[in-house]
Chain A
């Protein structure tokens, strides 16, 4: 039996097609369908229920050291209200999970982890927790994503103080008099926000967002095609305990400080890979024609020798064509190189491309 998020009754009311995801009953789509929901997000704004994500408070004088042991990033230069994307690494240089870390205050961080990895993360944290920190899972909070170019106008009309936020910044806000924690971030490649709000207020808040004609509901299906178009990896598909952040094209999470004076788990292996410029890499693939090349499909070179595997693949509603990403171990990863994907035993032509498949539309703070 799946758990229900605080928005479950709303999904039923709007005829969401419910599936089990990460142990939660969540809508894969609403009656409009995935393609329409994807397109609407790129043009206007969509609301997604992402309450299955794990929200955790990390507090105490040891919080920064804890994060710098568990992730290859550094947090000394992060100011209050700034956030960053990082990964939890293991001893073998693999990835336990990917996450967002926000500095709320001194010795106080807010973590958002994958729902399906929540327990695994807590198990991984446990032996690393000293007396100088506490972890508080926020079980009673919904997480609502508002994504798309109209998001700013919609949300700032409800709390004008949110105009101040730029990409990867967060602050407290008051929406309909509900106290919320709002970040300017998301998983679609569009401008947008994620709103953490107490479960008792979640449905009222989403109903209020839906009052705006520009806002529609979107489900997990559109969330997946949007993130794939934006080239964003999905844990359990594009990342797992055997992929390293270097292979995954996530070397940017490894800070300068951690490269010079590494404190993170798996640093011996990961830093060696970083210096070796090794050639297994996450790449984009454009299949020829309309055929979808999905997760688990083998990638072959022109002599039909296996050189890699597809980790995500779907139809892109934005570009009206199939797109895929995967890992290739080969010296030649030039854009435009022709390779083959073995779909139902037939080799199908694909060309290599760079990810993301489209230019993200984030509202970044201008660096003077």
Chain B
């Protein structure tokens, strides 16, 4: 199952683990990415709070946690090669994995279909 936020993050759910990244649409809006700051493993994050930063040539943009939980893994390849996000935002360009604390938050996220119509408006 994959869900989306209004801030253009995606979260793939696998049991109680969520893999998080940014959408194709977000990537296109940001332009060439040149730097990423990822959270430390073990950090407790709250839904909707800043958890990472991506920087394009022009600007720094905050990434928000789509759900609350504990960071259990980050994509180390991104630090050396942020262009992975440009090339493959919804697969190889994932940011981090978190252990989901509150599965009820899922209901507040958008399905792929709703997200697609959301970005059209």
Contacts and interface: CB of A to CB of B under 8 A. Distances in A.
Given A34-B31, A291-B35, A315 B53 contact: no
Contacts, number: 42
A348 to B, nearest CB: 11
A102 B56 CA distance: 37
A183 interface: no
B31 A292 contact: no
B34 A290 contact: yes
A294 interface: yes
B35 A29 contact: no
Given A291-B37, A344-B53, A28 B32 contact: no
A363 B15 CA distance: 64
B70 interface: no
Interface string A307-334: 0000000110100001000000000000
A292 B35 contact: yes
B60 interface: yes
Interface string A6-41: 000000000001000000000011000111000000
B34 A292 contact: yes
Contacts of B120: none
Interface residues of A, number: 18
Contacts of B58: 28, 34, 221, 224, 314
A89 interface: no
A225 interface: yes
Contact of A290 (B31, B35, B57): B35
A314 B57 contact: yes
Interface in B16-75: 31-32, 34-35, 37, 53, 55-60
Nearest to B35: A290
A98 to B, nearest CB: 22
A292 B60 contact: yes
A234 B57 CA distance: 16
Interface string A218-253: 000100110000000000000000000000000000
B53 A221 contact: no
Nearest to A292: B55
A317 B58 CA distance: 12
Contacts of B59: 294
B27 to A, nearest CB: 11
A221 B37 contact: no
A150 to B, nearest CB: 23
Contacts of A221: 31, 57-58
B60 to A, nearest CB: 7
22 contacts: A28-B31, A28-B58, A29-B31, A33-B31, A34-B32, A34-B56, A34-B57, A221-B31, A221-B58, A224-B58, A225-B57, A290-B35, A291-B35, A291-B37, A292-B34, A292-B60, A294-B60, A314-B58, A315-B55, A315-B57, A322-B35, A344-B53
